[in-house]
């Protein structure tokens, strides 16, 4: 089976495709890292969608999400953004991890995705 790597860097690839499965590296806020949690969350979910489209997939094909948040008190805010973003009847398996210390202290959220092609 062929492994396809998209936007491959020295230490990671943004997207890896294998066996009709898409794996995204963690998506973090880049454009609005100085903004509030909701704005960062919207940006990250939009980045996920952009990466999935680049891979030939989309958010209706999500299999699994791991959501990392700095402040667990933002869990319901994250859910409010997620609920608007995810299409009906397309919810993936999901885990949310709180109290995360990110390499960039301005980041408040990171999302790791596995999707079908």
Q: Using one digit for the tens of pLDDT, what is the confidence trace for 10-24?
A: 999 999 999 999 999
Domain boundaries, the chain: 3-116
Write out the two tokens for 32: 């609005």
Range 3-116 has CATH code 3.30.1330.40: yes
Distance, CA of 85 to CA of 94 (rounded, Å): 15
Distance, CA of 47 to CA of 28 (rounded, Å): 8
Q: Using one digit for the tens of pLDDT, what is the confidence trace for 37-94?
A: 999 999 999 999 999 999 999 999 999 999 999 999 999 999 999 999 999 999 999 9
pLDDT at 34: 83
Helices (H), 1-117: 37-55, 75-85
pLDDT at 75: 98
Q: What residues contact residue 57 under an 8 Å CB cut-off, 6+ apart?
A: 22, 115, 116, 117
Write out the two tokens for 61: 């094909």
Q: Is the pLDDT of residue 1 over 90?
A: no
Q: Is the pLDDT of residue 31 over 90?
A: no
Distance, CA of 4 to CA of 9 (rounded, Å): 13
Q: Using one digit for the tens of pLDDT, what is the confidence trace for 86-106?
A: 999 999 999 999 999 999 999
pLDDT at 81: 98
Q: Is the pLDDT of residue 33 over 80?
A: no
């Amino acid at each position: 089976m062929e492994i396809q790597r998209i936007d491959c860097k020295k230490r990671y690839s943004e997207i890896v495709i294998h066996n009709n499965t898409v794996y995204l590296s963690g998506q973090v806020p880049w454009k609005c890292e100085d903004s509030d949690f909701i704005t960062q969350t919207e940006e990250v979910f939009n980045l996920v969608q952009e990466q999935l489209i680049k891979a030939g997939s989309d958010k209706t094909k999500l299999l699994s999400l791991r959501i990392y948040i700095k402040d667990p008190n933002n869990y319901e805010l994250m859910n409010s953004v997620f609920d608007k973003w995810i299409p009906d009847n397309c919810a993936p398996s999901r885990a949310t991890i709180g109290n995360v210390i990110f390499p960039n202290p301005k980041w408040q959220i990171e999302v790791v995705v596995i999707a079908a092609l």
